[in-house]
Amino acid sequence: AQSVTQLDSQVPVFEEAPVELRCNYSSSVSVYLFWYVQYPNQGLQLLLKYLSGSTLVKGINGFEAEFNKSQTSFHLRKPSVHISDTAEYFCAVSPLGGSYIPTFGRGTSLIVHP
């Protein structure tokens, strides 16, 4: 079984500042890792994913994340945020092989202030 912890439920930040949204996971098997974004009144959409290879993954809208196997973390970063980045962000893990069911964190609300 897997579990995902998003350490911050809410992250306020000023426009053009850098931001990091933290995600830690636990799993007895190797996993795939995902970050999704949810804008108000919409479904989730994929920001980026880590399947294998380079541990630094680049996604859409200038976001990137780094997989750290020893710390079982997959933190999301952006060097300079915009007002339009205000949204809910979800980290998810999915086991290699077997079950198709991903496990989601509870989400982090990113609030960008002008």
| CA gap 4, 72 in Å, rounded | 10
Burial 74-93 (b: 16+ CB within 10 A, else e): bbbebeebeeebbbbbbbbb
CB of 91 to another protein, least distance (A): 10
Site for another protein (CB under 8 A): how many residues? 27
DSSP 85: G
User: Which residues inside 21-50 make contact with another protein, applying CB under 8 A?
Assistant: 32, 34, 36, 41-46, 49
Q: What is the x/- site pattern for another protein, positions 49-88, by CB under 8 A?
A: x-x-------------------------------------
User: Between vectors from CA 32 to CA 96 and to CA 22, what angle results, nearest 5°?
Assistant: 145
> Which residues are at the interface with another protein (CB under 8 A)?
9, 32, 34, 36, 41-46, 49, 51, 90, 92, 94-102, 104-107
